[in-house]
Structure 1
Amino acid sequence: MLNSLPVELVVEIFLRCIPPSPSVFEVDRIDLCAPRYAPLLLTQICSSWRNIALSAPVLWSRFNVACNLVNRRRQVAQLADLWLSRSGDCLLEVHLAGAMFEVASAESFVATLAQHATHIGVLTLWVDNVALGRIDELRMTFPAIQELRLFNKRNRTHTLTAPGIEEVWSASVAQSLASASTLCRLVLWGVPLSCLDLPCTHITSFCATQEDFNQVAHALQNLPNLISLEAHLHLREADPQSESLPCIHEKLRSLSLKETRGGWLAEFQSPSALTRLTLPSLEELHWSCPDEDSSALDPFLDRSSVCLRKLHLSPMAIWVAGFDLPGTAVFKKPSLAGLQELGISSPKADDFDRFCNVLGSDPTFLHELRRLIVSFPASRFRQRQNGTQDAPDPHAAIQHLAPAIRSRMALAQGKPWMLRSLNINWGHSWDRQGAVSFFESAPELVEPFRALRTQGVDVYVGGTWRRAASLI
């Protein structure tokens, strides 16, 4: 069939077969240059497909190898030379995930990298790699680079210090990157921004894993045009000299803040980074707080005078007894009056009950809301028999939310509700038959969700596992 199509169309079809780039969390576990993935897979079907695949440079424009997989380290240099030679002048993505301890292989790879450096658009490297100092020896520059990812995985719990990074990442390498005027997205895991001399004025997206808030504050102070920030913080002992220092950024629009604790004595630890931030232009906030307490949100909203469009709240630890949902008075503030998307994870039953009561009785409450997501990642669907009254429970959430939806639709008085998507989901450990039996025995709870569907609302109630289908 493909033989009857124009080559250009076949190449477009082949492009759809190539898997997406791995996220920063899985880049060192997925080897997209393996034979089971396109484009290598396409070369094994028949001679016709092989000829088309080998003659289409765009199919070879992404090189993603996980060096920590068995036998990959010795093959990387040879594979890179063969792979990238097929890419022509296409803008490249090069992801070398993991450390190459074989010096000869690493040096050969860097030499191959130098041949294609001028048209590399995305580059991922481990700073504890060997032979990276040769980047400057080969006078390598990256005039087309748009995204840079640097990882330090030698110690996952401690950020690499400035003296340590100089042992494995020479200053000359940073000088090679200093000419990257097109760099706009930066990912640093365990590598402080202060260790690198990079062009900062064009960077609009920054993702970092750091030991404390000070490194994030340094980034906010030195990235004046930053629009999106994703920060994973491991909070440790509080620093009295820095806790009172505010951090203001006038242009940041999207913040994803994930915080964990480094010990058991909370009274000696740093408070949430949210207490030090002032972000007047913020439109989207994803906050996974280190405790089940969300009290830092309200003063942050007042201090920043923001107008949020998206808000996602969750505890960092999914096994907590329950997450303290902000009071309904917080959701009525001008900062959240225009909220269009709200995500809530593991809310305490009493808090969610109060939220649903106001949602169903006040037509002005979150009147701009388009999407509502209620998640229970560590819960199973069953009627609660043991445990505390506040324990997160999807069963109780549906019992609270169904009548609230019915009441809210009645308050609309013939006008369609602005809500366009409703998602209630729970984790992998669940009782499917129990959930089905519950819905069959409680049609009065199912009816409001089906009524929403008749108005064009996308309704999903079910698990989060792969190929799961809505139970309503």
Structure 2
Amino acid sequence: MRDIETETFILEKSIHALEKNLSEKRRSLRALRSEHALTQDRLDANTYPVLTLPNEIISDIFVHVLPVYPLCPQLSGPLSPNFLTQICRKWRQIALHTPTLWRAIPLYCMPKATFEQHISIIECWLSRSGNCPLSSHMADDADMPSEVPTEDFLVAILPHCARWEHVRLVIDSDQLSSIEGPCRHFWWGQPSISVAISVALQLRTATLWDFRYPPHLLPWSQLASLTLVVKKPEECAHALRQSINLVYCEVILLGDDDDSQPDFEIKLDRLETLIMVRWLISEAGVTGFLETFVVPSLRFLQIPDEFMTPDPIAALKTVILKSGCKLLEVLITGPRSLSKVSYRQAFPSIPKFSFNAVKVDFEDKKYGWAARSDSNSSDVESSSE
């Protein structure tokens, strides 16, 4: 009997201790919960500064992350607009609803991706770009796998040709028959193509390489900038004569010695910059081509000395007097038949005369970039010497 009473006493005492401990734990739990709630409230009240920006500002920042339009970004990786959709939910929605992020579309095959996947990505970007003008550049033949059916690229982008603004296609001539669309810049890398793109109502800049001349190939009269890569001067003369509103003109001759010149004048009233380049330096020169130009607004002239043989000073004076232009800068390239002093004494009214004896790298001319040299660079002999 005594043992039962003793055990009961001990158990009651243990229960009392446990209840006391449980009560303390409950108070501690309530305190922890209260502290947790306060901390959560403080956390909820905090926001990242970038997330407080208006969506329009974030969208504009996104656009500046990518290469400057019309350059095309990568289809994947940190320089792709796809990367911006992977940061957070809010940024994904902003990126997907910013059409200008998706308006420059590269046409090439990504590593580790099938051609079908690539076409699917292009179509997705085209859809996301909304009604924005488009820039689309195809890779060179050397960079495009031979098994890639490039006509599939056309199938993807042709439905959007009304939005073409800057387009570079490297395709066979028989694939061009269906190309119609408003463009501002069109790069043409295939020889002997004679399909008309005269419907390109927004075209302002063109680069043509070794082309046949049909009168209605391009809307010549609306061009402001034209680069022609040809074998002979006579091959580009008709195109230049129709391009009456040119402000910038560049002619690159690829062929060997040739004395055939156009038998008519090339009158370009608005032309301010005229650049002539000879890929193959020749002793025979290109006689009489410069003298066919009538350019009253010309301000900058870059020309090889060999283009003005046999008398460079007489050739240059003929153009200046006939055109009535006031040249501000002349750059004579390649080997010279006359001294620098002879040029400067003959044309004291031209403020800047520069001389560059280095052969121009043809690869730098491929896309119509100017070959103007800085007169302070080491390979240029300037009039300030």
For Structure 1 versus Structure 2, the TM-score category normalised by the shorter chain is 0.5 to 0.7
Could you tell me the percent identity over the aligned residues? 22
| Corresponding residue of 1:8 | 56
| Corresponding residue of 1:125 | 169
Contact 2:166 2:184 (C-alpha < 8 Å) held by counterparts: yes
Between the aligned partners of 1:119 and 1:225, the Cα distance in structure 2 is 24
Q: What's the TM-score once normalised by structure 1's chain length?
A: 0.57
One-letter amino acid of the structure 1 residue matched with residue 321 of structure 2:
D
Contact 1:346 1:377 (C-alpha < 8 Å) held by counterparts: no
Change (3 A) 1:87 1:326: farther
| Corresponding residue of 2:185 | 147
Contact 1:53 1:59 (C-alpha < 8 Å) held by counterparts: yes
Between the aligned partners of 2:333 and 2:307, the Cα distance in structure 1 is 6
Residue 311 in structure 1 maps to residue 329 in structure 2 = yes
One-letter amino acid of the structure 1 residue matched with residue 175 of structure 2:
L
| Corresponding residue of 1:19 | 67
Displacement of 1:251 in angstroms is 1.8
More helix by share: 2
Residue 185 in structure 1 maps to residue 205 in structure 2 = yes
One-letter amino acid of the structure 1 residue matched with residue 140 of structure 2:
G
- Following superposition of structure 1 onto structure 2, how do residues 339-378 of structure 1 map, counting pairs within 5 Å? 342=352, 344-346=354-356, 374-378=375-379
Change (3 A) 1:35 1:238: same
| Corresponding residue of 2:298 | 282
Greater C-alpha radius of gyration: 2
Between the aligned partners of 1:50 and 1:106, the Cα distance in structure 2 is 31
| Corresponding residue of 1:434 | none
Q: Which secondary structure does the structure 2 equivalent of 1:178 belong to?
A: coil
Displacement of 1:377 in angstroms is 4.4
| Corresponding residue of 1:231 | 251
Consecutive unaligned residues of structure 2, counting only runs of 5 or more, are 1-48, 359-372
Cα root mean square deviation, aligned: 3.9
Change (3 A) 1:281 1:205: same
Between the aligned partners of 1:115 and 1:321, the Cα distance in structure 2 is 55
- Following superposition of structure 1 onto structure 2, how do residues 71-470 of structure 1 map, counting pairs within 5 Å? 74=115, 76-99=118-141, 105-128=149-172, 132-133=175-176, 136=178, 141-142=180-181, 144-152=182-190, 160-161=191-192, 165=193, 171=195, 174=196, 177-194=197-214, 197-239=217-259, 242-243=260-261, 245-260=263-278, 262=280, 264=282, 266-267=283-284, 269-271=285-287, 273-287=289-303, 289=305, 295=313, 296-308=315-327, 310-316=328-334, 324=340, 327-333=343-349, 336=350, 342=352, 344-346=354-356, 374-378=375-379
Displacement of 1:314 in angstroms is 4.3
Contact 1:39 1:53 (C-alpha < 8 Å) held by counterparts: yes
Between the aligned partners of 2:114 and 2:273, the Cα distance in structure 1 is 36
User: What is the count of residue pairs matched by the alignment?
Assistant: 317
Change (3 A) 1:304 1:12: same
Displacement of 1:323 in angstroms is 7.7
Consecutive unaligned residues of structure 1, counting only runs of 5 or more, are 153-159, 349-371, 380-391, 402-472
